[in-house]
Structure 1
Amino acid sequence: MQGFVVYLLLLMGSIFELSVVKCARSKGSDSGTSTTFDVTKFGAIGNGKTDDAKAFTSAWEAACNKGLGTSKITVPSGKTFLVSAIKFAGPCKSRSITFEILGTIVAVPKQAWGKGGGDGDAWILFHQVQGLSVVGNGKGVFDGQGASWWPRERKNDSPTALRFSHCDNLSVSGLKHMNSQKNHISINGCNHANISNLHITAPGTSPNTDGIDISSSTNLSIQDCVMATGDDCIAINGGTSGVKISRITCGPGHGISIGSLGKNGKHEEVERILVENCTFIKTQNGVRIKSWQDGAVKVSGVKYIGVRGTTVAKDATIDLKCSKTVPCTDIEFSNINIKSVGGHADSAKAKCTNAQGTARSCTPPIHCVKT
C-alpha cells in the first residue's frame, strides 16, 4: 500500500510538471509569435497606376491590431505601388512592427493630391507607433514625384514625403528616397531612433528637399547615409538633443545645419549634437548654426570632429549665427578640413556671431569662437 501511494504521488507530480511546461510554452509562443502581412494579399495591385492606399491601410490595421507578438508588413519586390496620402497610426497592440519595403512606393501626382487618407502635410505619416522598424535591405524605394510640386514649393505648402511623429524606439534603414515633394524625411517628437544606410537624392536645384529634418526629438543616431539634395542634408530644429551624426556623405545640398531657431522671439534649445567623420561634396554651405538675433535661443554642446570636403560657398564655409540674447556655448571644432572650389578657392573662411568654444587643427582657421 505504501508503495502505491508513493507511485501515485510521483505520477501526480509528473502530470503537474508537464502542465507547467505546456503552460510556459503556450505563453512563450503567444508572446513570441510573428505574423507577416503581404500588402498584395489585401488587394494591392502594384502596377504603378492603381492607387493601392486602401490595401496598405488594411494591411496596417491587421498588423497593428494583431495582439501579442510582433508583426511584419511586406511590400514585395518587382512591383511599383502607387499610393496616395496615407496615415499609419498607433498605438498598436503588437509589441513591435516591421514595415519591410522591397518594391517601389510612388506618390500620386500633385493634381491627385488630397484624395487619400493622409493629414495634408505628409505623403506617408507614421504617428504614435512604438517599436517601429522601416527597412528596405537596400531595395526599397520611396519616390515622391516631387518635380510636379517644386514650382509651387516657394509657397511652402508641399507635403513632406515621409514623416515620423511621436514614434519612440524607431529604426529606419536600407532605403532609397528620391524626389521628395518637400523634406524627404521628418522626425518629430521621437525618442530613441536609429537611422542608417539611406540613399537620398533630388536635383540640386529642387527647393526645400531636405534629406532629414529633425525637431523636438532626443537620442538619435544617423549614420552611413548618402544625401544629395536641393537643401540641407540634415537640419536640426528646436527641442532636439542627443543626436549623433556620423559617416554621412553630403552633396549637393546646403550641408548640415542647426536651425533656423528663434523666429519672432521664440524660445528654443538644441544641445548635445555630435557631427563626426562626415564628408561634403560641393555643398552650398559647410556647417552652420542659424538663429534669429531677437530669439531666446540656447545652443550648447555641439561638436564637429573629423569633418572634411568641399563647398562652392562664396562666403563662409563655416557660419555660426548665434543669438545675441543667449550665446552658443561649448562649441567644439576638431580636425576640420573644408575647402571652397569652383572659383571660390580663396574665399574659404569661418564666421561666428556670439559663439563660445574651442577649435584645433581646422581649415579654414576658426578664430571666431571664443572661450
Structure 2
Amino acid sequence: MNTIFLFVFCFLVCIAEAKVEYKLFNVMNYGARADDRTDNSVAFLRAWNDACSRRGKSTILVPQGSYMLHEIIFSGPCNAWMNFQIEGRLKAPSDIYLFRTDSWISFRYVDKLNVGGGGTLDGQGAFAWTKNDCEKNQNCRTLPTTMTFQFVTNGYIHHMRSINTKQNHFVLYGCKDMVLTRLKLIAPFNSPNTDGIKIAMSTGVTITSVNIGTGDDCIAMLYGTKGVRISDVYCGPGHGISIGSLGKSNGEDDVDDIVVKNCTFSGTNNGVRIKTWTAVLQKIMHVSNIHYEDIVMENVQNPIVIDQNYCPSHPCRPKGGVSSVEISNVSYRFIRGSGNSNVAASLQCSPNKPCLNITMDTINLWPSGKGKKLNNECLNVNGASYGIQIPSPCM
C-alpha cells in the first residue's frame, strides 16, 4: 500500500514539476495592450522579471497584434531557461529623442536564451535616417540598434523579421555559442548604417539561412570575433559580408577562424571584404584563418576585397599612414558570378605588414555588362593561385 502511495505521489509530483517547468508568461496578463499606441515596456519588463526569477523553463509570450514598445533592457542572470516568443509586431518610437542609449531592445547577461516566434520588429527608422550625419560629424548622435545581445551565452535567435531599423538590426557583443537562423532583415538600400548583423568580442557564432537586404554591411565582424560559421545567407542590397573595419584604435582584439560558405550576393556594393584603417597602433593586430567557399556573385560591384586603406570619410588620419593590422591565411575557393565594375578581386594590403598566405582556388568572375572587362589588382600580397582563374591572377 505504501509503495502504491509513494508511486502515485511521485507521479503527481513529476506532473506538477513538468507543468511548472514550461510555465507561460503572457504579456497581456501584465497589462500589455496591442493598440499601436500604448508604451508596453512596463508590462513586458514585469513579465520578464517573473519569468526570469523562477526555476525551470519560462516562455514569455507576445501574442499576435501590434505593440508599441519603448527602449527596454531584459537583464539576467536568470534562474530559468528563457524563451521569448514574439508572435506579434513590436514597434519602436519613431522619435530618436525618446532613446537614452544606443539600443531599442537589449538582452544582457543571460545563459540559455531563445528568441523567436515568427513576429516582426519594426524599427520605424525613416525619420532617424534623415538625422544620420555621422560621415560628416564625428560627434553625431548615436542611433539605436533594433536588438542587442550583450554577454549572452547559448542563444538561439530564429524565425523573426526585422524591418526599417534606425541603425543596426542585430548586434552581438561579448556573446558565446550563439545561433542565428531563419531571419529576414530589411531596410532600404539608401538607409545609412543599417547593418544586418554586427558581431564583436564574441566566439562560437553560427549564422545560417538568413536573408538580408539593407543599407550597409549584411554581416560585419569586428574586433575580438572568433569561431564564426556563416552559411546559406542571401545578401542584397547591401555592402556585403565584411570583416572590419579594424585597427582604428589601440587595444582591439584579434579576429580569427571565420568561415563563410554557400552564400549569394545580389546587387551589392561588395561581396566578401576585409577592411582596416591606416592607423599606427602600439601593438600589431592579427586577422587570420579566414575561409570563403562556394560564393555566388550576381552583379556585384566589388566581388573580392581586401582594403587596408579603409577611410569612408575624409580627411583620413594619420595622413599617409599605413595599417597596423596583419592579415594572413585567407582562402577564396569556388567563387563565381558577375561583377559590374572593372575589378574582380582587389587585394590592397599594407606595406607595413603585407598580407601572407592568401590563396585563390577556382575563381570564375565575369563582367555583368557588354563591352566590360574584369581585372585583378594586388598590392603587397604574398600568396598563390590554383585551378581555374578568371580573370588572370595578380599574385
TM-score normalised by structure 2 residue count: 0.82
Q: Within 5 A, what are the aligned runs for 1:2-17?
A: 15=2
| Cα separation, 1, equivalents of 2:195 and 2:292 | 20
Whether the aligned pair in 2 keeps the contact of 1:334 and 1:362 (CA below 8 Å) is yes
Once the two structures are superposed, residues 15-74 of structure 1 have per-residue CA deviations (whole angstroms, 9 ceiling, x without a partner) of: 368537845863685377210111111111111011111111111111111x22100011
In the alignment, is residue 200 of structure 1 matched against residue 185 of structure 2?
yes
Whether the aligned pair in 2 keeps the contact of 1:30 and 1:68 (CA below 8 Å) is no
Select which of 299, 309, 314 maps to 2:297.
309
Superposed displacement of residue 148, structure 1: 1.2
Structure 2 partner of 1:251: 236
Q: Within 5 A, what are the aligned runs for 1:1-371?
A: 15=2, 19=6, 22-23=9-10, 26=13, 29-30=16-17, 33-65=21-53, 67-77=54-64, 79-94=65-80, 96-110=81-95, 113-114=98-99, 120-136=101-117, 139-154=118-133, 155-293=140-278, 294-295=280-281, 296-313=284-301, 316-322=302-308, 325-341=324-340, 344=341, 346-353=342-349, 354-356=354-356, 357-364=358-365, 368=378, 369-371=381-383
Q: Which residue identity does 2:222 align to in structure 1? A: N
Whether the aligned pair in 1 keeps the contact of 2:96 and 2:128 (CA below 8 Å) is no
Which moved further from structure 2: 325-334 or 297-306?
325-334
Whether the aligned pair in 1 keeps the contact of 2:274 and 2:306 (CA below 8 Å) is yes
Whether the aligned pair in 2 keeps the contact of 1:291 and 1:297 (CA below 8 Å) is no
| Cα separation, 2, equivalents of 1:300 and 1:21 | 60
Q: Secondary structure at the match of 1:278?
A: strand
TM-score normalised by structure 1 residue count: 0.87
Superposed displacement of residue 129, structure 1: 1.2
Q: Secondary structure at the match of 1:46?
A: coil
1:156 to 1:254, Cα distance in 2 relative to 1, 3 A: farther
Whether the aligned pair in 1 keeps the contact of 2:201 and 2:253 (CA below 8 Å) is no
Q: Which residue identity does 1:249 align to in structure 2? A: Y
Q: Which residue identity does 1:68 align to in structure 2? A: R
| Cα separation, 1, equivalents of 2:97 and 2:68 | 11
| Cα separation, 2, equivalents of 1:230 and 1:46 | 30
Q: Which residue identity does 2:223 align to in structure 1? A: G
| Cα separation, 2, equivalents of 1:264 and 1:98 | 37
Identity across aligned pairs (percent)? 35
Superposed displacement of residue 358, structure 1: 1.3
Superposed displacement of residue 84, structure 1: 0.4
Q: Secondary structure at the match of 1:153?
A: coil
Which has a greater percent of helix? 1
Which moved further from structure 2: 317-326 or 204-213?
317-326
1:229 to 1:111, Cα distance in 2 relative to 1, 3 A: closer
Aligned CA-pair RMSD: 2.2
Once the two structures are superposed, residues 253-273 of structure 1 have per-residue CA deviations (whole angstroms, 9 ceiling, x without a partner) of: 000000111113444311010
| Cα separation, 2, equivalents of 1:50 and 1:290 | 43
| Cα separation, 2, equivalents of 1:255 and 1:170 | 24
| Cα separation, 1, equivalents of 2:220 and 2:8 | 53
| Cα separation, 2, equivalents of 1:75 and 1:157 | 28
| Cα separation, 1, equivalents of 2:250 and 2:105 | 32
| Cα separation, 1, equivalents of 2:324 and 2:194 | 31
Q: Which runs of 5+ in 1 are unaligned?
A: 1-13
Q: Which residue identity does 2:111 align to in structure 1? A: Q
| Cα separation, 2, equivalents of 1:36 and 1:234 | 34
| Cα separation, 1, equivalents of 2:4 and 2:205 | 46
| Cα separation, 1, equivalents of 2:201 and 2:15 | 37
Structure 2 partner of 1:5: none
Which moved further from structure 2: 277-286 or 145-154?
145-154
Once the two structures are superposed, residues 189-227 of structure 1 have per-residue CA deviations (whole angstroms, 9 ceiling, x without a partner) of: 110001001000000000000000000100011000100
Which moved further from structure 2: 321-330 or 297-306?
321-330
1:266 to 1:111, Cα distance in 2 relative to 1, 3 A: closer
Q: Secondary structure at the match of 2:78?
A: coil
Whether the aligned pair in 2 keeps the contact of 1:86 and 1:124 (CA below 8 Å) is yes
| Cα separation, 2, equivalents of 1:28 and 1:219 | 36
Superposed displacement of residue 278, structure 1: 0.3
1:351 to 1:103, Cα distance in 2 relative to 1, 3 A: same
Aligned residue pairs total 344
| Cα separation, 1, equivalents of 2:210 and 2:49 | 31
Whether the aligned pair in 2 keeps the contact of 1:223 and 1:248 (CA below 8 Å) is yes
Structure 1 partner of 2:311: none
| Cα separation, 1, equivalents of 2:323 and 2:235 | 30
Q: Secondary structure at the match of 1:64?
A: helix
Superposed displacement of residue 153, structure 1: 2.1
